Chain A
């Protein structure tokens, strides 16, 4: 074999070894563990802390409210729809209190008359339906049908 070919082969082999060595060093341990990505990204993303506690956390302490809510038309709603994100309250109930003072404009976020909304959804014309009255005068939020509402 001519000498120049031997040299060339040696250079190629050295190059290949260098590439493999660098690759071994640069690619993270978990990179091909699950696929063409770092598997350790899953625990990294999952480490984020929830802001909404979830309905189950509310049920632990507020069973009395839940009983009223289950009988009313707001039964499917999570508490945090109206009371706001409450993970900090669920972790330490004395630290923060979810807001409870909800005015007419908040009710109308869902219940304002709107032709884009599905037919049959309970809607009112906010400018005509007992204007200036607090909704809670007739509709108890946890069981909102008028006259049938519980005290909560």
Chain B
């Protein structure tokens, strides 16, 4: 038996290696010829400290801030203007389940039964409460991403598409997100959704485009009663520091160890 018409093992290895390195070098050459960088907008390199001097094009320095959010449930009237403003500001689809923020209505009866509803995040009218005489208490709870210090969503992302910025905002890299949905499962607060239009995960950005311009997030801007308080935790005389100083606050699911930065005043034990 001869090997004239077949490839020997050595030939196969040689040719495979030659082809592989050829293809690799060709793509490299083509990209170099086009002047393409794998990263279309390379960020300016900071000198010295890697995070200290990173700046956005408008001169905003992320590491100089650390944002949090407060919600005073004593002031929330359930008008859901925040939900509407979020949709308008961020062009989020008004269909289920695309909610970056939503408002739940809690109804607790005299016999301790609990009813929670949030029709279309609060954009649709809440159903009338049946038998109001038996209601022990009822209140509204706005919900949104807590931009956790130890965010589970960031930890489970397999491709580095979810990140916590130096200013403490949890964001999604839409170019890197592969839409696997792990982060949606991982969030204990249900603050993420699958965006069908981009086939990626979606979430609250704390209106990153607004806060980096010195504006408040749309929901905090539009809240008519001042129930929503946005602020910088580093700013010791800022609105959030004042809110935290003057109110006793709680976070949702502290036992999860996520260290949320969304602080509620007067949170009922029934709220999860």
Which residues does A use to contact B, with CB under 8 Å?
18, 21-22, 25-31, 33-52, 54-55, 76-78, 80-81, 85, 109-110, 114-118, 121
Q: How large is the interface on B (under 10, 10 to 19, 20 to 34, 35 or more residues)?
A: 35 or more
Q: Can you name the residue of chain B whose Cβ is closest to the Cβ of A111?
A: B77
Taking the closest CB of chain A, its distance from the CB of B22, in whole angstroms, is 13
Contact between B38 and A80 (Cβ–Cβ < 8 Å)? no
Q: Contact flags (1/0) for B197-225 with A, using CB distance below 8 Å? A: 00000000101111011011010011011
Using a Cβ cutoff of 8 Å, how many contacts connect chains A and B? 159
Contact status of A114 and B160, CB under 8 A, knowing A29-B39, A40-B41, A50-B210: no
- Closest A residue to B73 by CB, please name it: A118
Q: Which residues of A contact B40 (CB under 8 A)?
A: 40
B156 interfacial contact with A, CB 8 Å: no
Q: How far, in angstroms, from A91 to B162 measured CA to CA in the complex? A: 33
Task: Say whether A109 contacts B79, CB under 8 Å.
Answer: yes
List the interface of chain B (C-beta within 8 A of A). 21, 24, 28, 37-43, 45-46, 50-51, 54, 56-58, 60, 62, 74-79, 81, 85, 88-90, 105-107, 126, 129, 132, 135, 138-140, 160-166, 171, 173, 175-176, 205, 207-210, 212-213, 215-216, 218, 221-222, 224-226
Would you call B75 and A42 a contact (CB within 8 A)?
Answer: no
B54 to A34, Cβ gap below 8 A?
yes
Knowing A48-B209, A50-B213 are in contact, say whether A116-B39 is a contact too (CB < 8 A).
no
Tell which of A27, A46, A52, A118 touches B208, judged by Cβ atoms closer than 8 Å. A46
Report the minimal beta-carbon distance from A141 to chain B, rounded to whole angstroms.
12
Contacts of B173 in A (CB 8 A): 37-38, 41, 44
